[in-house]
């Protein structure tokens, strides 16, 4: 099963994604609570896919995405955004994100984005 790293500063949001993906058979190999942590965990774990919250402390999701893609141009990252972050979503797609999911998470949409990103 594909391995997934979940990066979000809210433990509740990490748990929600973790539950959706675990039930679908994905292996959650790690979690990160800010962008710097996400980059370090990515380097350490080399997951098949990373879900990345856009708004996080210390280093935001877009900066973390750029750092991860700088290390590994083939990295598969799906961004998570709140409503009303369209400009940041566009910026993250231009920076190499495969897809994005909007909070509150709908399980079907989350799985669709993950499957698309891994295809």
Tell me the pLDDT of the chain averaged across its residues. Answer: 95
Q: What confidence tier does 82 reach under pLDDT thresholds 50, 70, 90?
A: confident
Residue 61: name the closest of 111, 99, 18, 8 by CA: 8
CA–CA separation, 39 and 35 (whole Å): 6
Mind listing the domains of the chain with CATH numbers?
3-105 (3.40.50.2300)
Rounded alpha-carbon distances, angstroms, from residue 47 to 61, 83, 99: 16, 27, 16
Residue predicted with more confidence, 87 or 6: 6
Query: Is residue 116 pLDDT above 90, yes or no?
Result: yes
pTM for this entry = 0.94
Q: What percent of the chain has pLDDT over 90?
A: 87
């Amino acid at each position: 099963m594909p391995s997934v790293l979940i990066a979000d500063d809210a433990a509740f949001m990490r748990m929600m994604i973790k539950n959706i993906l675990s039930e679908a058979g994905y292996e959650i190999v790690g979690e990160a609570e800010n962008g710097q942590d996400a980059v370090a965990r990515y380097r350490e774990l080399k997951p098949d896919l990373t879900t990345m919250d856009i708004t996080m402390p210390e280093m935001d999701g877009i900066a973390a995405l750029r750092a991860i893609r700088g290390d590994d141009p083939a990295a598969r990252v799906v961004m998570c955004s709140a409503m009303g972050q369209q400009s940041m979503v566009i910026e993250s797609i231009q920076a190499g994100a495969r897809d994005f999911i909007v909070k509150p998470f709908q399980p079907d949409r989350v799985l669709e984005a993950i499957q698309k990103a891994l295809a």
